[in-house]
Structure 1
Amino acid sequence: MALLISPGGGRGDMIVSRLDEYRRRICRVLVAMASLCVVGLWVFETETQVITELDRIAYPLLLAAFVVSLFLMLALPRWHRMAEWIAYLSFTTYCLVGVAAFGHLAEQTRLYTIANTLQWMPMLYVASFILLQRRDAVIAAALVFLSMSIPIVVEFSASDSYLKDRVLGSLVINAYLVHLVILVSLSLFVMTSLAFEQARAKAKALETMASTDSLTGTMNRRGLEQILRHVAGGSSGEIGLILIDIDNFKPINDTYGHLAGDAVLQAVAKRLAGVVRDSDVVGRWGGDEFLIITRDAQLTDVIAMADRARQHVGTHVLAGMRVTLSAGVGVWDGQGPWADALQRIDRALYSAKAEGRNRTAEAATAPNPIPA
């Protein structure tokens, strides 16, 4: 918050990175669970003698693919994405071959094998949405559904199709209808969530614009007041307040013009942002005044920060001229109206300017302002 406000930036990148790591963890958990499920089905179907000849070959191959994928994910993180695709494509291939082989199954195990395959296929749609971006996931899941449907459509057109059996035919039709509903539901949910995220992002961008000073890029008075209202009554520590005024700013405008004055304001804002902590807030309070809000700060720390800010500005040529600052400082416990706290800081600033400018005055010792 101490930096000048701008769209995007390091915080957004950090959030994206965390979300990607969370997605990777989900992938690892799913592949590990899939490996255990393959082992469980392999043992169960072998013991109950319902395993097909295809699965006697496919289960070891599928398990090997999952184990290799999981090993790559854990041991070689840079290959994580490739490992995800190995697991996804392996399972897709298994399901596609399994559907195509429905017509070649033994009579006594056909019903079980078809039902078993059809009930696991929706995991492909879920995996598509985990592996890919939203729109790509919708397309990939739809392609998987269509590719799995082709063997069934071809089988229905055959005169001697096993699907002529009412039970099997009804089972397959119902299963594919459920798959379609799942696919459409996932797609609608994801696209709706995308629309909500875009709306939230737009609202946040508008809120940021409304709270940002267009000239300096710092928070404006509206944004600063929101911060003060937020911490009022809820602070667990003292809040440091530094009100800064550019000395002799009016003569700069009168002598060099308003463009030069704007350049000075921009340069001062950047300098102030460079002396505070990441958790602090720098904003333009109005005109040539800036306000710094710092949390969990002792008065001595606040005074030191104000002095650093003055030195950081005063020792450099800004917009072709030397600029000095006056500062009023104090601490606030968050109790009582924030306007009263700012009034004390404003009195301290008045004291600093009255004593000759280019200095820092404490609110605790600042006299009341002399009436104009």
Structure 2
Amino acid sequence: MRDSAPLTPPVLPDRPRRAARPLLAAGLGRRDAYLLTLPLAALSLLPSWLGGPPDAFLRVALPALLAVLAGAFVALLLGRWPLERVLMGLLTGLWLGLLGRVAFVLLAPGSAPIDALALCGTWIPVLLAAHVWMLGRAAGRVASQLALGAFVLVLLVCGALHPAFALNTVGNVVMQILLASLVALGGQRSGLLRLRREVREQRLGADLTGLGDSLTGLPDGRAARRWLRQASPRRLEGLAVAVITIDQFHHVEATHGEAFAGCLMAHVARALEGALGDDDTLSRLGPSELAALLRVPDDRAARAACERLRLRVASRPLDGVNVTVSMGIAVYGGEGDGLTLLAGAQDALDDVRDAGGNRARLGEARRTVVEDMTPELRSA
């Protein structure tokens, strides 16, 4: 067997600068989108001013909400503070205003409850759903749960002070708002899960989405082996299997800890995924091993693709730790099944480890093709 020579990344010429394009033509970033949205949110406060003389709560709350929106706008415009921190402050101010309004309507005598709730109640489901848009899936879910809990707490306090409100029209409207909020949260979560599943199916194929690895989000070894075991010879044509291991993984785990080793695995998985083709698949085989299923025309293309993956990982250190990977490659040649192909790649990987790692190597069964290559092709 012959090792692949390390590749030197080509020096690319400087690209000419693109002409400046209008903001909308170039696409909006998150910060730019909020800069356009906040003035619209400020306009939504106008009906409260135009609906008649403001009550005692609105005389204090409306200027305060305008100050919150203006402060968030200035903070986003200056860009000196983290975006998530600005958005969290904005959401906190909006929720205090909404919950305070609901409490005032339910408790203050002589107010116009239905009209007042109509102006603010519909924004509660919107804000609950907006947490995920603004803060991300994990932080947004926690923020939505906290906000929903605060809303329920306000209703319980109001019900304890005025038990009759739950049986009148005002109580009916409030309960409808609460139910609409729950539907909004449930529908958003269902939509996110469905979107993630559809994206994974488009990227990996429906046959590799049944089982997943919680750390990397990739299909795990059971899913990959099941697909290889069930794949027909026709589906295996033009397929290469590359078994990839992180060099010195156990040493890194012993010196930096298990948490850092997990981050290292996720880091390598992201780097490899970013260099895969549309028809390629990545899965996790073990604590330090990954498997790439590559659609390639021949052995030379398989090795070139793996060298590209190897160099991509090597060019992306993690917290000062230089990461390298070793690869064993096997290309389907019409004999055996998918599991045989996987075993051939693992045998080639064992040889790479014995040779010191940080390289890619084709399996023994495919050696004759590589031996017939010219030196230029062998170093491609």
Q: TM-score, normalised by structure 2?
A: 0.49
Task: Normalising by structure 1, report the TM-score.
Answer: 0.50
Query: Rg larger in 1 or in 2?
Result: 1
Structure with bigger helix share is: 1
